[in-house]
Amino acid sequence: MQKARVSLGVNLHCSEMLSSKEADKMDETAAVMRKQQSGQSQPISRDVCRGGGDKLQLCRVMRPDDANIMGNVHGGIILKMIEEAGAIVGTRHCNTLNGERCWVALVRVEKTEFLVPVFIGEVVHVSAEITFTSKHSLEVQVKVMAENILKGTKKLANKAALWYVPCSLENADKILEVPPIKYASAEQEEMGRKRYEAQKIVRWETKARIEEVLPPPLNPEPHTVGFSQSSLIHLLGPSDCTISDYVYGGVTMKLMDEVAGIVAARHCNTKIVTASVEAINFHRKIKKGCVVTVTGRLTFASNRSMEIEALVDAASLVDDEKVSYRAVSAFFTYISLDKDNKPLPVPLLKIEGEEEQRRFEEGKARYLQNKAKRLADRAPAVTQ
Residues belonging to the active site = 68, 257
Distance CA 133, CA 189 (A): 9
Distance CA 107, CA 167 (A): 12
Side-chain half-sphere exposure of 145, counting CA atoms within 13 A: 13
Q: Strands, E, within the chain: which ranges?
A: 2-4, 17-19, 55-61, 102-109, 112-114, 123-133, 138-148, 153-168, 230-235, 271-282, 290-301, 306-316, 325-337, 343-344
C-alpha torsion sign, points 91, 97, 101, 107: negative
CB 139 within 8 A of CB 192: yes
Q: Are strands 123-133 and 271-282 parallel, antiparallel or unpaired?
A: unpaired
CB 36 within 8 A of CB 28: no
SS3 state at 156: strand
In this structure, how many other beta carbons lie within 10 angstroms of the beta carbon of residue 44? 8
CA 286 vs CA 92, 106, 193, 246, 327: distances in Å: 22, 11, 28, 6, 7
- Residues pairing with 274 in the sheet: 334
Distance CA 71, CA 120 (A): 7
| Residue 299 CB partners (closer than 8 Å, separation 6+) | 225, 307, 308, 309, 331, 359, 360, 362, 363
- Residues pairing with 145 in the sheet: 125, 156
Side-chain half-sphere exposure of 261, counting CA atoms within 13 A: 18
